[in-house]
Structure 1
């Protein structure tokens, strides 16, 4: 999705209104001082999760990517993939979903995978990509099971230089994942969409953050990260 697409703009507004995107003084996992923070764990009730699933479904279906099932990396991806599967079924597209355990189970059905049998073309569903570790593990598990990862679907592309293994890359985490695994990443929205929303904000409490978020983008940003995939 582009930063100006209705789905991206509606999602950013929804995330801000839900308190999932917050403004203030925060520190990222990479140790950067940031004026905004995205916490998908705050999509924490049925109404919010249901609406979030709609945004994921819109982005995935608009991408035109052919897929057979969904995979949610532990932990946040589990609920996201389940919610998206429910929303797709509601729209007449019933697909299976699976997820992984952090540690393999040695009793019952055993193994590290739970849910639908891994087969065909798989979309990995997560919230954001930081270092790409969870995505790399997901790609490995999917291919090991004989299926093929065809896309990664995330909520927000931060569009900033990745910090991986103590080194700052010129690529974003999203670009790094795409190059490393050969799998496109589709995002509902990105940092540019957030900037566009702030630039149009009528509420001075929101508009005041535009210069700081813009400065953060100028210091740490990269170009468009997620695959601009259109139907």
Structure 2
């Protein structure tokens, strides 16, 4: 990954700024699925027009290609992953890496082609495209679908790695959802940006509307963060 003169991940910094300007990354007080009060909230569903989705796909494609992850096709888990995988496939093709993609339905069809999978045949090494990971549940579901099709779940690309402890049965664990997917499920994970990148961004934009949020996010990371 390309670093700037300050040693920061240039692509991640560009992405964080884009997310803030798009209203996708917001600051305040937000309750997470784990019941924590977070000083920031990332809602990828707000990449909600053609221009924003196209630029988001550029970030995914650039990070995926830079990661060196080997893959034969993309998979978008329903529902959020469907437009992400489709848009990323378009951008990868534009950059000279044309690969097939597929996605699943929540409910299987009993007419037409039937089944729960749509798109290209699911085969080879599959790269799952998703927005964030909270507990690794979506990754486990994707793995099951991909294996049932006879393919190999190989890696996951996400927009933001929150770098915070996951929860199990209401208790904090010592690992994040990303670490669980990597260490327990055995998949590679690449993210466009991480919480550390968000903190670096806030540290250099500590005036105006973002004033004070660096300290809040840093305290949240100290309480719930993992490396």
Give the alignment's TM-score, normalised by structure 1. Answer: 0.93
Question: Displacement of 1:165 after TM fit?
Answer: 3.4
Aligned residue runs from structure 1 range 108-187, under 5 A: 108-187=112-191
Question: Displacement of 1:202 after TM fit?
Answer: 5.3
Partner of 1:206: 210
Q: SS where residue 184 of structure 2 aligns?
A: helix
Q: Note the alpha carbon deviations across 1:161-202, whole angstroms, 9 max, x for none.
A: 001332321100111111221001110000000000000115
Q: Note the alpha carbon deviations across 1:62-103, whole angstroms, 9 max, x for none.
A: 011111110000000000000000101111211111001112
How far apart in 2 are the matches of 1:51 and 1:40?
12
Question: Displacement of 1:35 after TM fit?
Answer: 0.7
Aligned residue runs from structure 1 range 188-203, under 5 A: 188-201=192-205, 203=207
Gaps spanning 5+ residues in structure 2: where? Answer: none
How far apart in 1 are the matches of 2:178 and 2:206?
31
Question: Displacement of 1:104 after TM fit?
Answer: 1.6
Partner of 1:229: none
> Which has the bigger relative contact order, CA under 8 A and spacing at least 6?
1
How far apart in 2 are the matches of 1:168 and 1:105?
39
How far apart in 1 are the matches of 2:91 and 2:150?
26
Count of residue pairs brought into register by the alignment = 223
CA RMSD of aligned residues (A): 1.3
How far apart in 1 are the matches of 2:45 and 2:104?
18
How far apart in 2 are the matches of 1:47 and 1:70?
22
How far apart in 1 are the matches of 2:97 and 2:181?
28
Gaps spanning 5+ residues in structure 1: where? Answer: 224-231
8 Å CA contact 2:133, 2:177 repeated in 1: yes
Matched, 1:219 2:186: no
Could you list the runs of 4 or more consecutive aligned residues of structure 1 that deviate by over 6 angstroms after TM superposition? Answer: none
Partner of 1:226: none
Q: SS where residue 175 of structure 2 aligns?
A: strand
